[in-house]
Chains A and B, each alone.
Chain A
Amino acid sequence: MNIIKVDRDFTRKNSIIENHKRAAYEDGAAIRDISWKLKILTDAAKYDVACTSSGVERKGNGRDMGNAAACGICHAFAADGRCISLLKILMSNECVFDCKYCINRKSNDVPRATFTADEICKLTMEFYRRNYIEGLFLSSGVVGTPNQTMELMYEAVRKLRIEHRFNGYIHIKAIPGASQELVEAIGYLTDRMSINLEMPTSDGLKAMAPHKSRSTILKPMKEIQAGIHNNRLTHGLTDKRIPMQIRDCSAKVYEKALGLPKKETYNFLVENDIGGTKTDIVAEPKADYVVGTRGKYFVPAGQSTQMIVGATPESDYHIMNVAEALYDNYDLKRVFYSAYIPINEDSSLPALDTKPPLLREHRLYQADFLLRFYGFRAGELLSEERPFFNEKIDPKCDWAVRHLEEFPVEVNTADLSVLLRVPGIGVKSARRIVMARRYGSIDFNDLKKMGVVLKRALYFITCKGRMMYSTKIEEEYIVNHLVYNEPPEKIFKPDTGSYRQLSLFDVGSPLMIGNG
């Protein structure tokens, strides 16, 4: 900042003041401009669901801003209940493509805006240091050609990583049809890359997105997969489930890991005027450091994709099979499902007043968890004959009641893989059970403490040979109770083992809809 010197020459003084006023005005205008763009480009980006910041563990380097936690961190929750973890924006909502389902398609008359690289950097840095976000999620409409778009995106990310030395999380949405060189160059600057599959089948895609094709989507996906694979090997990682740990930077040791925090008197506000700026640095950081993933780590948090559900007629069975193939063949970290929200009028699309299929999306996410963490295969959950998930009970319960010959399971002896298939037992509680039973046998009370949801599990397990209540192992009976969704104390009287007769009719609306 300039310093105004006291000057006897009034004209000169006045002109300096004028300059300052103008500068202040322009600052204000820049802020207004950036706010206006932020509104348009956030609004245009909101339908993209992939907004997690997980998958890579990167320590701070003691000098630059940022680190990343493998588990991801949510910072806020929007009115739709979804977590806000990244600054999710489009670089531009200009687009030369005309995908039918998309708000930004060429044929729509909407206000258009494009961020400059500097604006993207500024927003990211300023939001990040206020602890609003974990990093940046940058997507874009197609400006000119896919390659031109990716070049602009590359420039923004390069500036952010190299000039601003941003060390937090970056997720880039690759543009279908962009060249391998660009994908590779960006890949070395970002943590996660994704390319939206959009529609579960190539026919659906052809109908909805005439400018895209399956191959322009799958080709870069394959390239990213190969890039990740080779890069992980050079860092000595063969198991693809292990998140990349980026620690080889001169992280400062801030405190003894064990000691209690120091207590000193430091009257920050009384003695030091808070007007100091970042220039009063008290110690110089070490010189060697690594910023972000630069040149060393290729897409360390892996890649993800997204499918729109409900715009085209594919069944859940279709979708799960595609997801499974993506996990198996493309090593994707996540597949996201996005309930179609009608924005555009088009004869080939659901009518404008169609409600987004949120419950269906929810069931797909639940099933997706079963694929990723519970050892299920898509073919076990659904089939050509039964291509849709049960609306009333979740996919795991649904599977269990159709495989009653495998139950009940004795929790004190069953294998981990068997426990994982019991409704109401999650990954964490299954591990806790296996751990705890080494030190003594487990009963229902212990299970509750370990986080098992007994109101679902009780029909499928025994503890020391006994069931919790004398429930029947019978499909219709269990389904009725599961749908009723009441805590067991309310349905069963433990002393007699008898239960209150109930049917689906006194159920009301037991369906719960959460977010993915």
Chain B
Amino acid sequence: MINTVLLHDGTLDGIFTAVYNGFVLKNIKYKNNYEDNISIADIHTYEPHFFREYIEVETDRDKAYKTVDSIVKKIGISGYDVAMGVACHFSPDAGEILFGFLVRGFKIGKGVVNMLTDSYVEKAFALSRKTYNESHLFREFVRFTDVKGRLYSKIEPKCNILHMICRHFAERFPAENWIIYDAVHHIAAVHPSFGQWFLTDDEGADFDRIDSMPHDEYVDMWKLFVDTIAIEERKNERCQNNHLPKWYRKNMTEWKK
């Protein structure tokens, strides 16, 4: 039963710092008879529970890096991918599942990714699959608008997937100056032409100003193309909705009025 919850600030650094502190705590308090007593949660969204102790974690990038390094070393890349997927999921249970998964991972090693019958491992897989599915969708559905030669895109993902899609776009558009702004998590990815991309928060940035920039004429041509390519005799709205949930359409060029 969970009785200690470590609260982080919701950033990736924060989450992995909390994992670090969690393992320190586990080793002090529970030594050998550990039974999933520790969890981590986002300080902004957690729901307080009577019999639990809450400890606020101070984000520490070095600790976060150390955690990531040892995850990769002990559980392997595929285990790290699963952990990262869980860490970025929005579910309130993600923290508990992440910690449970890592506890098993550190005990068992790389083989943990095949232990699909363990409930923590299975849940971790399910959550991370959802996260990666969403990140995959955003590789497809990000739409850039040309703003005086630079590219700008706004997204509103449920999971924290921005950093997962940047490498793809950096590789694809190395010469372009582009920004992808995640309006839900208030972070932006910035890619200078032929430079290294990085994340930044949106403090002081005025993204709304971009909407008043001159109209990008290729937007109209794209809409024209999407409308024309459909075959009237095969109209199938249900199929379209299955592939492209309405929820994603908000920021997609071809769906904007």
Residues on A close to B: CB < 8 A?
31, 34-35, 38-39, 42-43, 45-47, 59-67, 73-84, 87-88, 123, 126-127, 129-132, 168, 251-252, 254-255, 258-270, 274-278, 280-285, 339, 341, 355-356, 358, 432, 435-436, 438-440, 446, 449-450, 513-515
> Closest 5 CB pairs between A and B?
A81-B239, A60-B171, A78-B230, A79-B230, A80-B234
Q: Which of A74, A132, A267 contacts B222 (CB 8 A)?
A: A132
Distance between B142 CB and nearest chain A CB, rounded to angstroms:
5
Could you tell me if B150 and A274 are in contact, using CB atoms closer than 8 angstroms? yes
CB-CB nearest in chain B for A75 = B140
Could you tell me if A260 and B225 are in contact, using CB atoms closer than 8 angstroms? no
Q: Which of A87, A129, A261, A440 contacts B163 (CB 8 A)?
A: A261
Q: B199 contacts the other chain (Cβ, under 8 Å)?
A: yes
CB-CB nearest in chain A for B166 = A261
Q: Which of A62, A84, A254 contacts B167 (CB 8 A)?
A: A254
CB-defined interface of B125-142 with A at 8 Å, one 1/0 digit per residue?
Answer: 010000000000001111
Distance between A288 CB and nearest chain B CB, rounded to angstroms:
15
B86 proximity list for chain A (CB < 8 A): none
Could you tell me if A81 and B243 are in contact, using CB atoms closer than 8 angstroms? yes
Could you tell me if A129 and B174 are in contact, using CB atoms closer than 8 angstroms? no
Residues on B close to A: CB < 8 A?
12-13, 16, 61, 64-65, 68-69, 72, 77, 80, 114-117, 122, 126, 139-151, 153, 163, 166-167, 169-177, 179, 188, 190, 192-201, 204-207, 209-210, 213, 216-218, 220-222, 224-240, 242-244, 252-254
CB-CB nearest in chain A for B139 = A73
| Most chain A beta carbons < 10 A, residue from B222, B228, B229, B242 | B229
Could you tell me if A254 and B144 are in contact, using CB atoms closer than 8 angstroms? no
Could you tell me if A282 and B194 are in contact, using CB atoms closer than 8 angstroms? yes
A42 proximity list for chain B (CB < 8 A): 224-225, 228-229
- Apart from A81-B243, A258-B68: 20 A-B pairs, beta carbons within 8 A: A43-B228, A46-B229, A46-B230, A65-B173, A73-B140, A75-B141, A132-B222, A263-B199, A264-B198, A264-B200, A268-B205, A270-B206, A282-B193, A283-B194, A285-B194, A341-B231, A355-B233, A356-B233, A432-B116, A513-B236
- 20 residue pairs A–B, Cβ–Cβ below 8 Å: A46-B231, A60-B171, A62-B194, A65-B173, A73-B140, A79-B236, A129-B173, A130-B143, A131-B143, A251-B171, A255-B167, A259-B65, A264-B200, A269-B209, A270-B205, A278-B177, A339-B234, A432-B116, A436-B114, A439-B117
Q: In the bound complex, how far is the Cα of B221 from the Cα of A34, in angstroms? A: 9
Could you tell me if B174 and A63 are in contact, using CB atoms closer than 8 angstroms? yes
CB-CB nearest in chain B for A132 = B222
CB-CB nearest in chain A for B180 = A131
Could you tell me if A439 and B12 are in contact, using CB atoms closer than 8 angstroms? no
A515 proximity list for chain B (CB < 8 A): 236, 239
CB-CB nearest in chain A for B12 = A260
Q: Is the interface of A mostly helix, strand, loop or mixed?
A: loop
Could you tell me if A81 and B236 are in contact, using CB atoms closer than 8 angstroms? yes
Known contacts A35-B220, A252-B174, A280-B193; A132/B253 CB under 8 A = yes
CB-CB nearest in chain B for A283 = B194
CB-CB nearest in chain A for B80 = A258
B169 proximity list for chain A (CB < 8 A): 131
Could you tell me if B193 and A436 are in contact, using CB atoms closer than 8 angstroms? no
